[in-house]
């Protein structure tokens, strides 16, 4: 499958990886939108949030828990951080392998554009 995030997870494409385990990989976004901008992906290829199966619920929780744990490790948990998953092109999804954006290190406004 021609998926850049599968290739990053399989080390076929380079990335600055900050965490990995049997199910999840975390790496720096190539075009960071904040001082800290990590992408948290499952190793399993799931194209969009719409394609998440009921059996993927533990994996989805693992992604979210990884975001929380990393935010604490990176020292942004107290000030605040944002976790985002875009679903489909209308919401800005450009890479069709689900990923959480973990953004922090600066003040952020709400609502987003």
- Choice between 71 and 98, CB closer to Zn ion: 98
Among positions 37, 43, 45, 82, the unique one binding Zn ion when judged by CB under 5 A: 45
Shortest spacing between CB 109 and ligand 5GP, in angstroms: 18
Kindly list the residues in this chain that would bind ligand 5GP in the complex (CB under 6 A): 4, 15, 27-31, 39, 86, 92-95
**99 catalytically annotated:** yes
Q: Closer to ligand 5GP at the Cβ: 55 or 70?
A: 70
Residue 45 exposed, middle or buried by CB count within 10 Å (0-12, 13-18, 19+): middle
* Helices within the chain (DSSP H only): 4-9, 57-74
Q: Which is nearer to Zn ion, 28 or 105 (CB)?
A: 28
| Closest C-alpha among 34, 37, 15 to residue 25 | 15
Radius of gyration of the chain (CA): 14
Min CB(100)–ligand 5GP separation in Å: 9
Does 3 bind Zn ion (CB under 5 A)? Our answer is yes
In contact, 26 and 18? CB cutoff 8 Å: yes
CA–CA gap between residue 82 and residue 106 (Å, rounded):
10
Question: Which residues bind to Zn ion, rule: CB under 5 A?
Answer: 3, 5-6, 45, 97
């Amino acid at each position: 499958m021609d998926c850049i995030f599968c290739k990053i997870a399989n080390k076929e494409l380079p990335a600055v990886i900050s965490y990995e385990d049997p199910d999840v990989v975390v790496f720096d976004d190539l075009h960071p939108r904040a001082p800290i901008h990590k992408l948290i992906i499952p190793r399993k290829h799931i194209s969009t949030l719409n394609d998440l199966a009921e059996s993927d619920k533990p994996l989805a929780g693992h992604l979210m828990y990884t975001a929380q744990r990393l935010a604490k490790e990176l020292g942004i948990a107290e000030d605040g951080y944002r976790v985002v998953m875009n679903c489909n092109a209308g919401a800005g999804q450009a890479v069709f392998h689900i990923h959480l954006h973990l953004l922090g290190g600066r003040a952020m406004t709400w609502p987003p554009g």
